[in-house]
Amino acid sequence: MTEHCGTIRLHEIESIHKTAHIGICLFDKSVWGNKIGSRAVKVVTQWAFETLKLRWIEAGAYSENVASIKTFSRAGYEWVYDINEKYLFEGRPAKVSIFSAKKNSLV
């Protein structure tokens, strides 16, 4: 039996521009480090490109969250830009790195 270990969400789907945002959170620490997150991101991204006919999917990660950055990179996402001090992390302004996957660019 498969246990629920986290969630992945495709949101802010924009049909005119054919874009969306993606986010993932693995609650179960026992699955951390086994690349389940990057595999899930890749599957959902491919599904969104094929089924929803999207062309661009964007993800953000706090720059201090190396695991999230690796997750999106392993799923074929590329760094696009950073946003400095807009978001708070643990009560302090933090840098968020934005990544994207573009249709036909996944490895």
Task: For the chain, give the number of residues.
Answer: 107
The predicted model gives 60-79 an average pLDDT of 93
Looking only at the bridges linking them, the beta strands covering 19-26 and 6-14 are antiparallel
The predicted model gives 44-62 an average pLDDT of 96
pTM: 0.86
State the chain's mean pLDDT as an integer: 90
List 6's β-bridge partners, or say none.
Answer: 26
Confidence of residue 97 (pLDDT cuts 50, 70, 90): very high
How far, in Å, CA of 56 to CA of 43, rounded?
Answer: 15
How far, in Å, CA of 93 to CA of 85, rounded?
Answer: 4
Query: For the domain with range 6-102, which CATH number is right: 3.40.630.30, 3.30.1360.100, 1.10.1380.10, 1.10.287.130?
Result: 3.40.630.30
Q: Extract the tokens encoding 20.
A: 């969306």
Domain map of the chain by residue range?
Answer: 6-102
Helix (H, G, I), strand (E, B) or coil at 94: strand
| Backbone Cα Rg of the chain | 14
Q: 21-36: per-residue pLDDT in tens?
A: 999 988 767 777 778 8
